[in-house]
Amino acid sequence: MYAATKDHPRYTIVQIDMSTGDKPVAFMPAQDEVLSYVDAEHSSGIVAGKDALYVLYRKVGDMGIYKIPYTSKQVSKINVNGKGSIAELKFRGDNDLVFAQFNAIRSMQYMLYDYDQDTVAPLPFSKLSLDLSDDVVTEVIEIPSRDGKKIPVTLVYKKDLNIKGKNALLIEAYGNSGAVRDVGHDPHQMPWINRHGIYAYAHVRGGGELGLEWIDDGQFPHKMNSINDVVDVAEYFIKNNYTSPDKQFVMGGSAGSFLVGNSINQRPDLFAGGIFQAGLPDLVTYRDAAYARERGSVGDIATREGFQSLFSLSALYHIPTNSNLPAMLVVHGATDYIIDLTAPSRYIASLQAKQKGSKPQLLMVNWEGGHQGSGIDEIIGTLKFMLWQSGHPEFQQVK
């Protein structure tokens, strides 16, 4: 058996003899890229053929596969013929590898690596995959943080768009517990993109995209780095004319909601609005499943340091006073088993009470929805809210 270890920030691979229980033996040292022992769907990123081991590696927007023959242990990269994300490593025969390749403008295409010929080609039915590259662009840029880190951000936008034309722009982020987002094609984003909005996924600290150090630098006691990264990304987009404060939104769900409320609290002047989905705005008083699950990443209230961290991350307690707040849409499912409806309701009530401007503070509840979203009504409602608040002419109130 082969397994990843945390002996290095980018991981290493060891060989384990399950029949003897002997100590694991080093098989593959750390490489230039982050080894990905699972893909975004939690399937194995380490698969063993008859003559070689294949290991997925992670690079935002440009994932790949290492091949290591058992005899030589010489590490090489397979030429996967394209940039994007990779998942679902499976075998056809003893050594030939099937994998799925995709990105924000192309749906999953299944590829076959021929071990003997050292070639990669699409499987015949993969020619049916959706390809929007004639009309839509995706790219990865790196944005500097206030402490010198480089934050990878995946952009998706129409090819004919003036990218630095102060466009409507949506930042989405999660950055928690080592979770990764290998950005694939999402048809729900297309109404925003087709109306000349930019979609930007910020791979902030706390996520697993750049290895262990990137994870640890966005978890307790450094969780505020995740929020600061979002703010720094938003400020960069405005300074470089991608967007303007009246057209920029930030969105996050579950633990990603920490980033929404707190980035707006920190810099309300950068945002037209926020989308706070299935979130917890008060980590101090709530002891539900969300706190139990996230305690390792946000802090333990039983300690002084943990309480201070939880208080600092609770957006409810840090809403700016006497301020013209950006618009906010709080979205929640009434049957959410992780976070009940009480905290989001308190949050939106506090926002409404402290709003000194004219931007709406709204709560959208799906009475049958849970933690994983409320279906098409939530998607459409969120899109309409952003188009309305960004000033799109087709979504303004008729006087």
Active-site residue set: 254, 336, 371
Residues 6+ apart with CB under 8 A from 190: none
**Dihedral of the CA atoms 97, 59, 208, 206 (nearest 10)?**
-170
Cβ distance 61 to 183 under 8 Å? Answer: yes
User: What DSSP assignment string belongs to 235-252?
Assistant: HHHHHTTS--TTTEEEEE
User: What DSSP assignment string belongs to 20-42?
Assistant: TTPPPEEEE---SSEE-SB-TTS
- 263 residue type, one letter: S
Helix axes 289-298 and 304-313, enclosed angle (nearest 10): 110
Strands, E assignment, 221-354: 248-253, 273-277, 327-333
- Joined together, the tokens standing for residue 141 give 């840029």
Cβ distance 302 to 295 under 8 Å? Answer: no
Half-sphere exposure of 352 (CA within 13 A, CB side): 12
332: how many CB neighbours lie within 10 A of its CB? Answer: 28
Residues 6+ apart with CB under 8 A from 383: 191, 192
Give the Cα separation of 260 and 354 in Å (integer). Answer: 17
User: Cα separations (Å) of 191 from 10, 16, 81, 263?
Assistant: 37, 49, 30, 25
**Dihedral (CA of 329, 335, 339, 345) sign:** positive
Pick from 65, 56, 67, 71: nearest CA to 95? 67
**Per-residue DSSP letter, 40:** T
Q: Which residues pair with 154 in a beta bridge?
A: 140, 201
- 171 residue type, one letter: I
Helical H segments across 185-256, by residue range: 190-194, 212-216, 224-239
